[in-house]
Structures are given as C-alpha cells and as structure tokens.
Amino acid sequence: MPADTQPMTTRDTATACIALADGTILYGRGFGATGDAVAELCFNTAMTGYQEIMTDPSYAGQIVTFTFPHIGNTGTNAEDDETADPVAAGMVVKWDPTEPSNWRAEARLGEWLARHGRIGIGGVDTRRLTRAIRQQGAPHAAISHDPQGNFDIEALVARARSFPGLVGLDLARDVSCVQSYRWDEMRWAWPEGYSRRETPGRRVVAVDYGAKRNILRCLASAGCDVTVMPATATAEEILAQEPEGLFLSNGPGDPAATGEYAVPMIREIMDKTDIPVFGICLGHQMLARALGATTVKMNHGHHGANHPVKDLETGKVEITSMNHGFTVDSQTLPGGVMETHVSLFDGSNCGIRMTDRPVFSVQYHPEASPGPQDSYYLFERFVASIEARG
C-alpha cells in the first residue's frame, strides 16, 4: 500500500503498542526487535538522519517519536552510526518503513533495529503524540512489540508509571568509553568518504560524556590531535596528557547528577591552567555549572535539525541541530560569564563564554550529523584560541 494511504492501526491489527504513564494507549505495527522497553518519550523534527539520531548517546533513556512521516526510506549503513550501537530505547513513526532507496544502503531499518535489539513502531498518529508531548511535557512510556499482538496493558502502564525519569539520573557513565583512546578520523568528504589525519595537530583531550563520532571528526578536521578520555577522568589524569585544549562532549541524563564528578574536574583544570575550553550540549551544561550557574529540566526539550539560534554578539542567526532536555538558567550566570547565544524558539540559553579567558560552550550541536553545518566555525574558533597561546 502506498505510504500516503496507509491506515492508522487498530487494536485488532496491532503488533505493537505504546503505554503512557497517564494510561493512554496507542497501537501500531512493530518492526525491529520484539519485547518491551520503558523510557521518557520525546519527539524529533529532523527530516533526515534517523540512524544518526538513534545512535546519538544523548538519547539514552529516551524513545524517539519522529514527526517526519517517511522514516527508513534510505536504509542504514555502517558509516552513519554515531556510536557502535543504537542508544535510544526505541522509535515511533507514522508510516511503516519502506524498502530503502539509496545507493549507500546496506540494510533495511527494521533489520538494523532487530540486530541491535531496538523496537520500532509504525502506524501511529505521531501528530497527536507530538501535541501531547508539547502540551503536557515529555511523558514516561513503555513500548511493546509482539507479532501475535498479545499485550499486558496493565503491566505496561505500571512500568511506565514506575520509570524514575531523567531528573537526578547520571547516564554519562553508562555511555562513556571505559578507557582512553586516540582519534584521527576526519569528516566525510566526496568521493573518499572518511580519511585519516596524517599531519601533527594541537593536543586536545575530549572528555566523553557520550560523544558522537562526528564531533571527534570535526575536531580532527579542524586541526586537533584528539585523545578521548572517560567521563569520570580526573583532572590529574587529563593534565598528564599535557593538553593544549579541553573539549567537553555531549551526553545524556541530568547535568546536576553528572556534575557531581565532572564539575570538580573542570574547576581544577581551570584553576591550574589557562588552556582553552570548549563544550557542547551536556558539556555546555557541565561548564556552566562549573562556572556557578544552574540547570533546569525543560518541558519537552529541543530535538531536531532546524532550530534557529541567534548569536547575540554578531546578530547572525544559525540553523542548528539540537538534542537536550535540560537547559542552563541564564539568570544564574555569574559575573565574568556572558550569554552568547539564545534559541529563537523559546529564548532559552544556547551559549556562554568567559569574558577574560578562551572558555566557551554552546547548547546545540555544531557537528550536525544530522543537520545543517552553519556552526562548524566553532571548532575552528577553538583551535584558533589554542594557537593564539603560542
């Protein structure tokens, strides 16, 4: 049946379902892995990049509802993974995935999800679901895929209600690397694909709170010799690498919880050195907390590849990729720290910098994958600030 005429799923034809903590039940057609999963339910407005989204470690503890209806039509391939395995607990889409039509496709979306143990649900009224998330906040949800259509609805609702939520939850430890490693792969380019950095660069330590591969590629392409270290790395361990710059990556969970160990490390490095510091997403929140600001949970967060952000210093507007459910409270920024970027959707903070040191961060994702590349210049700014020190 053509994708634009597929009916929504009824209880009689369902092979998957979504149970929200308020008792709402939505039925769909399952694909990918079978079984159950429970997490926070969010929505993403990106029209492309579903594979990168599912493998973004920042989505740990979340099920992603895609507002764009045609998901799966370019298939999947190994080059587009942002980490080794999907991290999001599951995905919800409007239409069942079609056969892939793309020269880079290596597998169907359903096959890829099944191989990695992730549930997909199609045939859902995602517009209704998105409205509910916007109006009521990101709900806790349980999803189930059973080819026979046998669901214990009462148990699924109970699981959704018992999910603790992301507030107070440190997920960076779960998605971070367990040991340090070097990174030299650069951004994808036609026709070679990914290439390796062969010339010496500036020594940068990237703290992995859930780093996407394309962030590391951007650092390498901008001129960095990158050493990736675990989220729990101490200041002593990081300084032993003799870095010329410190990068703080994206990641999932509550920044207040991750900050229990990340904030003291950042403060100690800033006390002992004057090296440039650059943070993205959770790294932005970690830096803000280290400087004395606070973070708060958002109603439904920002998830998409079309978010307009204004640079308050230049007046320019960038279209950005975002994925975060917490935000820095700009009213708590201390003296010597200025707000540099704001969201044009809701005015929330999207960037800060210190006024007397090369220390800055942004809430959005300048590395894209997926999304626009308006903000790649930030990686070049970071390297320029290292070079300015000699």
- What is the tens place of the pLDDT at every residue in 96-147? 999 999 999 999 999 999 999 999 999 999 999 999 999 999 999 999 999 9
Q: Tell whether the model's pLDDT for residue 209 goes beyond 80.
A: yes
- What is the tens place of the pLDDT at every residue in 248-259? 999 999 999 999
Closest CA to 145 of 227, 30, 231, 14: 30
pLDDT at 9: 76
pLDDT at 8: 65
pLDDT at 390: 78
Query: CB neighbours (10 Å) of residue 104?
Result: 13
Please list the helix, strand and coil fractions of the chain in percent, rounded to the nearest 5, in that order.
25, 30, 45
Buried b (16+ CB within 10 A) or exposed e, 8-17: ebeeeebbbb
- Mean pLDDT for 149-167 is 97
pLDDT at 12: 80
pLDDT at 3: 43
Task: Give the strand pairing for 337-343 and 62-66.
Answer: unpaired
Per domain, the residue ranges of the chain are 3-162, 172-387
- Mean pLDDT for 136-162 is 97
**Positive or negative CA dihedral for 144, 134, 97, 117?**
negative
pLDDT at 296: 98
DSSP 193: B
Q: What is the DSSP string of 203-230?
A: EEEEEESS--HHHHHHHHHHTEEEEEEE
- What is the tens place of the pLDDT at every residue in 314-353? 999 999 999 999 999 999 999 999 999 999 999 999 999 9
| 341 in Cβ contact with 312 (< 8 Å) | yes
SS3 per residue for 29-87: EEEECCEEEEEEEEEECCCCCHHHHHCCHHHCCEEEEECCCCCCCCCECHHHCCCCCCC
CATH architecture of 3-162: 3-Layer(bba) Sandwich (3.50)
Burial of 82 from C-beta contacts in 10 A (0-12 / 13-18 / 19+):
buried
- What is the tens place of the pLDDT at every residue in 264-320? 999 999 999 999 999 999 999 999 999 999 999 999 999 999 999 999 999 999 999
Alpha helices in the chain (DSSP H): 50-54, 109-115, 126-136, 153-162, 172-175, 213-222, 235-239, 255-272, 282-290, 377-387
Assign 10 a pLDDT band (cuts: 50, 70, 90): confident
Give the residue numbers marked as catalytic.
281, 365, 367
Assign 214 a pLDDT band (cuts: 50, 70, 90): very high
pLDDT at 11: 82
pLDDT at 6: 56
N- to C-terminal Cα distance for the chain? 63
For 172-387, CATH gives 3.40.50.880
| 141 in Cβ contact with 38 (< 8 Å) | yes
Please give the torsion angle defined by the CA atoms of residues 331, 290, 57 and 385, in that order, rounded to the nearest 10 degrees: 100
pLDDT at 190: 87
d(CA 208, CA 180): 9
Contacts of 241 (CB under 8 A, 6+ apart): 203, 205, 227, 229
Query: CB neighbours (10 Å) of residue 134?
Result: 12
Mean pLDDT of the chain: 96
pLDDT at 192: 87
- What is the tens place of the pLDDT at every residue in 66-77? 999 999 999 999
| 372 in Cβ contact with 319 (< 8 Å) | yes
